[in-house]
Structure 1
């Protein structure tokens, strides 16, 4: 048996309810515990349907596991190195600094709007229903493709652990026909498992997430320490060798792919206890910890690699460094930890996309909204969004069977969509801030909630400029990146074509809803 929010034709709570809750800061700041959290959510016009059972570490794990250092560094190290060489290390702290600006803006909003569907809700409440809807639409499409991209990472790890995981053909490279098809097969199996977990009680999902994140952090730290003990060169190699400026811009793709998803702590706000106090901190700590650990992992790999010039780093990446430096036995054990990180990352990203679908659907902003907005009172999970995200991500994986070369274009497109959706929050936030300072709010303990204060305008402006610049960098139609063999012009323009199609489809749906309101 399931329950859902009563039908309504509006797409968001009335403005007077939203601004009253925002301005007073008292809707969830007068006490602690589930009663105050539920009252705070009611102040935004929503009943408490998701089970509020997550603590601070679970909130941190939601953001960290979406970023998933081991998953994404192992998946994209070879790509970044092949373009930027050893100097591509410096793109990691640079991207981390830019993303911390965005995270600081998001932390401020998480303290004021602790609601599921963070990007959609924040953009709507800072601008208007139409702009916020498109931000949510772009975000959820990007998230679904990111789910598929994360599941593909198993191909980088499992065949290196045991050849039996290469079920299709013999070539394990994910860009070969055999490797791409096998990656799709492994990814679909993983999606079946993560969808099943997302249908269980959210406490089960939280336990899996926390255990996985703990194992990932421990494994990443161990890998860094072990590689540093096998280092053959000094950090100066990152300064004196590598590609030029344009190559580094492409090399930054790897770091840009990694350091996204920290907003997941905000996505889980309706399931987090004391979210105004907890979510802002965990957004920032998840990104800072993941970014620092990823940078150290990249540096350690560069210092310990058997060779920087034999071509292996640009093709086999970190798996090659681990097995060659630490031996097959220990290397494979650590790769098993990476495989666990891939599974947990896929689960976290799917959960985040599920919450976005749920949040938009309960505002009657999507097709089949009544079904998508339904929450099981037994599990505290919205089952239909979990099934939809799992099925659509699996469908995206099938593209690997038809065109292995398309995956870089598709993977970049989903990241561009997330960066664009982020800018659709920081942009309205800056405009709102220029008109008047964001009113102060209190957290559940009565203390002042996280705020940028007098640094708000410069930090917000820098975050917006960084986000737009990275969006352009990722989407730029470089033939050397998206069509290296030639003959596939549409791969170069795939991001713009996909984004344009998504906007047209979204506009058509909204026009249909206006003509035939439900």
Structure 2
């Protein structure tokens, strides 16, 4: 069940960045998806070892608490909750153009760019529908996630393969050009394409948020994370290559004249009926993406509250007896997205900045886990879950940390031209620092970490207990634990 829970998410983020990657083209553009996929797979491997030993609801928060301490875990959870909350927002908002194109697109104008009003109501509708579905429990989430996975495979991989084989309007040489039409400096183009790779492979960690709700999580969750990145990588590759080669007017996309190019590419290749069918599949994957992020955010708020480290802990630590869903937490995590929908309505240009902050904050939360795992390894920790990297664990951990730190540097780089204000150029970093500062002030003044008596920093002790238990079980079964 878990293996489908979040597979749709990387492609949803990828679809938001696909236009940018096609616009980069050339060598630089071709590097983005591959580099991001390999790096995030390393992170997924590190997460897999941690969650295999600690298959607990709350994911990142619980992992870093057991790897370091409560204070470090609180700050990580603060950053991550903000990240996933913005993730719900951006995924719902980015779905608006596809929904508008599905219902209002014509043969002459297949791609519809939604108006601010349309975007507002579509995003609210998407969020409410996904919230209602999530209220029915994990089984409903798993079912829709599986449908979303199938939608991704059909709408991206199969269609991308069809476009690649039968509908090529451009040659493969566009991937090997040494310059970018949007940048004078090739280094800038390479950096921009790398950023797209960072956007594409993001969301796999949410598989671990429902670890207490699935069977055999120590084995199934690590496998689900790796599958999520792998499927997202294949989908992103086929989407990028297939759509780029099938674009009937690549110049319009590169120049920014065609702001919603995917429906136009589909219309020229598949006709009206085929375009509508693929758009319906894409919308389905967006629904799965929003649902998975709602589930992830609600579980970490619930886990946070269960340890008495979140404002209103008594309210948010409750679970619905019938559905076994943290209903109060689920409702709460959708309040901020709706407020941001309204903000974006009055300031449409803010969406890109919001998404940039989301990805930087997400990578920061990831690297806090990777750093905590590396620190514990240096102190002697050997992961004792059912899934392990063995002797390769340390090397993979270091490589994942290097990748993540470099990714954060790229994401924090200034954007915009010479006429852009200082704040606008550095808005991603400024936003991240502001959110971090607010969290740190609350942490240092209110000291919420002192309210909790939950275990912390005990990764080595737990690992030793698990090994002793496994050894005892093996001795009583004659060397055959099964």
Provide the TM-score with structure 1 as the length reference. Answer: 0.80
Shift of 1:107: 0.7
Change beyond 3 A, Cα 1:364–1:388: same
Task: Tell me what 1:65 maps to.
Answer: 8
Which has the larger share of helix?
2
Task: Tell me what 1:220 maps to.
Answer: 156
Task: Tell me what 2:462 maps to.
Answer: none
Aligned pair count reads 439
Change beyond 3 A, Cα 1:86–1:326: farther
Between the aligned partners of 1:433 and 1:245, the Cα distance in structure 2 is: 36
Per-residue CA shift, 1:101-144, capped at 9, x if unaligned?
Answer: 10110111111110111111111111111111111110010100
1:429 and 2:389 are equivalent in the alignment: no
Task: Tell me what 2:440 maps to.
Answer: 507
Task: Tell me what 2:356 maps to.
Answer: 412
- Of the candidates 282, 299, 304, which is equivalent to residue 246 of structure 2? 304
Task: Tell me what 1:48 maps to.
Answer: none
Shift of 1:236: 3.6
Change beyond 3 A, Cα 1:161–1:200: same
1:252 and 2:194 are equivalent in the alignment: yes
1:401 and 2:345 are equivalent in the alignment: yes
Task: Tell me what 1:136 maps to.
Answer: 77
Task: Tell me what 1:337 maps to.
Answer: 281
Structure 2 contact 58–300 (Cα < 8 Å) conserved: yes
Task: Tell me what 1:351 maps to.
Answer: 295
Task: Tell me what 2:314 maps to.
Answer: 370
SS at match of 2:250: coil
Between the aligned partners of 2:59 and 2:448, the Cα distance in structure 1 is: 28
Shift of 1:225: 2.6
Shift of 1:374: 0.6
Structure 2 contact 151–282 (Cα < 8 Å) conserved: no
Task: Tell me what 1:11 maps to.
Answer: none
Task: Tell me what 1:183 maps to.
Answer: 119
- Of the candidates 219, 235, 241, which is equivalent to residue 172 of structure 2? 235
Change beyond 3 A, Cα 1:198–1:240: same
Structure 2 contact 21–240 (Cα < 8 Å) conserved: no
Shift of 1:87: 4.1
> Which consecutive unaligned segments of at least 5 residues does structure 1 have?
1-57, 166-170, 442-448
Task: Tell me what 1:104 maps to.
Answer: 45
Shift of 1:320: 2.2
Structure 1 contact 80–252 (Cα < 8 Å) conserved: no
SS at match of 2:2: helix
SS at match of 1:311: helix
Shift of 1:516: 12
Between the aligned partners of 1:517 and 1:300, the Cα distance in structure 2 is: 53
Per-residue CA shift, 1:238-263, capped at 9, x if unaligned?
Answer: 11254322112112332322211111
Structure 2 contact 21–196 (Cα < 8 Å) conserved: yes
Change beyond 3 A, Cα 1:374–1:129: same
1:279 and 2:212 are equivalent in the alignment: no
Change beyond 3 A, Cα 1:517–1:78: closer
Kindly report which structure 2 residues correspond to 1:118-129, keeping only aligned pairs within 5 A, or say none: 118-129=59-70
1:208 and 2:138 are equivalent in the alignment: no
Task: Tell me what 1:55 maps to.
Answer: none
Between the aligned partners of 1:218 and 1:293, the Cα distance in structure 2 is: 10
> Which consecutive unaligned segments of at least 5 residues does structure 2 have?
181-185, 452-482
Structure 2 contact 44–226 (Cα < 8 Å) conserved: yes
Structure 1 contact 75–156 (Cα < 8 Å) conserved: no
SS at match of 1:162: helix
SS at match of 1:240: coil
Structure 2 contact 157–234 (Cα < 8 Å) conserved: no
